[in-house]
Structure 1
Amino acid sequence: MTQRADTLLIACGALGREIAALKRANGWTMLAVRCLPAELHNRPERIAPAVRAEIRANRDGYSKIFVVYGDCGTGGRLDAVLREEGVERLPGAHCYEFLATPQVFAQFADAEPGTFYLTDFLLRHYERLVVRSLGLDRHPELAAEYFRNYRKLVYLAQTERPEAVERARQIADSLGFTFEYRYTGYGELGTRLRTLVTSQDTLAWQA
């Protein structure tokens, strides 16, 4: 008999493939996952209301709900919503920190605050989420304004693929950035999810 999922993860779509892979690899049938559109990152003021709506739409169907988002540019508004709803989230500023680990991400940020990050997801969807979303396909001259505070591109890779590294390097070159590659795998995302699955104590999520 198939085990019914009793825990819901409300996640950013940018992490959907990684969460699905971890769920399959570990046989986490007790987890259900609902992903919100990654495009919300272009309008971070919409993230907290969207998460609240998802919590309320699914609260009666699950014994536990957790949110797999960082603050993601909401300026604390997401945390305010989660306090009101009594739901926890994965600690961290955004998915780059989950994947790189807080320590490694802090090193990157300290070394060059003006760093533009790519993950496997952002690399796959760069044309849609960056180029077309920002209108750079129609007005490439706007890139200088959008990226004027950036100096470096760091590719945080979840998989090891030489062709992906080359594509990320090409993007860095097109923007005039220096380039660095770092293989992260699933970073702390996998560690935190394993803690959640194996513990009945919700506070273990933040251990």
Structure 2
Amino acid sequence: MALIRLNRWQHLDVQCLPAKLHLYPDKITQAVADCVADHRADYDAIHVLYADCGTGGLLQAKCQELGVDMIAGPHCYAFFEGNDRFATLAEDEFTAFYLTDFLVRQFDAFVWRPMGLDKHPQLRDMYFGHYTKLVYQAQTNDPQLDEKARQSAARLGLAYERRFTGYGELADFMQKAAN
């Protein structure tokens, strides 16, 4: 939505699916297929802004079957960072926990509470004991989000790193869709 506003693309629409689908990756493929079916007659082209997001390749296969273009990548962290760069960094950062602007804003709703840390804080070390740092992939420059990301790292007992990624390959993908 931010990229549409920033680029003044009035000929693109975005249909958002519930973000909580990321907590249940087995439901993503069907939700995307249903959305494509619901909107296919309304558009000349449909582009899926989900990466694989834990579907094990099922989403990519479904998008190919449906004849719709899908952004490349195993997850949004990779396409925000840049898929090639993320793959290179992942070799050294397999103990990093990533947050995007959205996840920083929704940390309690998508990390803290679903993992039961609000009621059982002792689980923190079980879940995050092998992580070494929290990497905040900032899409925007927002001091309040930076501080909230820093606090999230502290709550998880992790070192903090902020990287400005902007919208990465999502911006490129949407630019191609806009043309």
One fold, TM greater than 0.5? yes
What is the CA distance between 1:90 and its match in structure 2?
Answer: 0.5
Partner of 1:88: 69
> Are 2:11 and 1:42 equivalent residues in the alignment?
no
Deviation at 1:166, TM superposition (A): 2.4
State the distance in 2 between where 1:42 and 1:96 align: 15
Query: 30-39 vs 162-171, which deviates more?
Result: 162-171
Residue from 23, 36, 57 that aligns with 2:4 = 23
How much has 1:132 moved relative to structure 2? 1.4
Instruction: Please point out which of 146, 150, 166 is paired with 2:147.
Output: 166
**How far did 1:162 drift?**
2.7
Q: Deviations over 1:174-196 (max 9, x none)?
A: 22222211111112211221122
What is the match of residue 133 of structure 1?
114
Instruction: State the distance in 2 between where 1:44 and 1:106 align.
Output: 21
Which residue is equivalent to 1:155?
136
Match of 1:124 in 2: 105
Residues 83-121 of structure 1: CA distance to partner in whole angstroms, max 9, x if unpaired? 221212011111111211123322431222121101110
Alpha-carbon distance between aligned partners in 2 of 1:84 and 1:104, rounded to the nearest angstrom: 29
Q: Secondary structure of the equivalent of 1:36?
A: coil
Q: Alpha-carbon deviations, 1:102-147, whole Å to 9, x = none?
A: 2332243122212110111000000111111222111112222222
Cα separation, 2, equivalents of 1:191 and 1:43: 27
SS at match of 1:156: strand
Alignment correspondent of 2:126: 145
Taking structure 1 as the reference length, the TM-score comes to 0.81
Bigger relative contact order (CA 8 A; separation at least 6): 2
SS at match of 1:134: coil
Please report how far the alpha carbon of residue 76 of structure 1 lies from its aligned counterpart in structure 2 after TM superposition: 0.8
Q: How far is 1:82 from its partner?
A: 1.3
In 2, Cα distance between the equivalents of 1:122 and 1:43?
A: 16
Q: What is residue 174 of structure 2 aligned with on the other side? A: 193
Cα displacement (A) at 1:148: 3.6
Structure 2 counterpart of 1:57: 38
Indicate which of 93, 112, 115 corresponds to 1:112.
Answer: 93
Contact 2:48-2:68 within 8 A present in 1 as well: yes
Q: Structure 2 unaligned runs (5+)? A: none
Taking the aligned partners of 1:163 and 1:76, their CA distance within structure 2 comes to 36
CA-based RMSD of the aligned residues comes to 1.5
Q: Would you say the 8 A contact 2:136–2:161 is kept in 1?
A: yes
Q: Letter of the aligned partner of 2:58 in structure 1? A: R
Measured after TM superposition, the shift of residue 167 of structure 1 is 2.1
Percentage of matched positions with identical amino acids? 47
Per-residue deviation, 1:170: 2.1
Distance in 1, matches of 2:131 and 2:25, equals 20
* Matched residue count: 179
